[in-house]
């Protein structure tokens, strides 16, 4: 089974980004314990002009295998279900 790719787009000092990271990491840990492999990649909009233009008003953004899953707030249960759907 291939790893599910999770992308977190945000910036330093963003409390919603910090909360999203905690949710993502918690879900990843839970799924890992159950045998679902995920990979997390983070991008900082302050270091990428294109991402800044696209998402400056919507961070944090969470993508699963390149598809947008959530903006602003990340629900752990919805994230887990979405990852499990993709992993099958």
**Residue 2, pLDDT score:** 84
Predicted confidence at residue 1, as pLDDT, reads 65
pLDDT in tens, the chain (88 residues): 689 999 999 999 999 999 999 999 999 999 999 999 999 999 999 999 999 999 999 999 999 999 999 999 999 999 999 999 999 8
What is the separation of C-alpha 70 from the centre of its chain, rounded to a whole number of angstroms?
Answer: 8
What domains sit in the chain, N to C, each tagged with a CATH number?
A: 9-87 (3.40.30.10)
Query: Which residues lie below 8 Å from residue 16, measured CB to CB, with a gap of 6+?
Result: 10, 59, 60, 72, 73
The pLDDT value given to residue 88: 85
């Amino acid at each position: 089974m291939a790893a599910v790719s999770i992308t977190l787009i945000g910036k330093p000092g963003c409390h919603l980004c910090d909360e999203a990271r905690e949710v993502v990491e918690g879900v990843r840990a839970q799924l890992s314990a159950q045998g679902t492999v995920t990979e997390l990649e983070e991008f900082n909009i302050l270091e990428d002009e294109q991402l800044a233009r696209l998402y400056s008003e919507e961070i944090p953004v969470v993508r699963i295998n390149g598809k947008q899953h959530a903006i602003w707030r990340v629900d752990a249960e919805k994230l887990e279900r979405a990852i499990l759907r993709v992993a099958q």
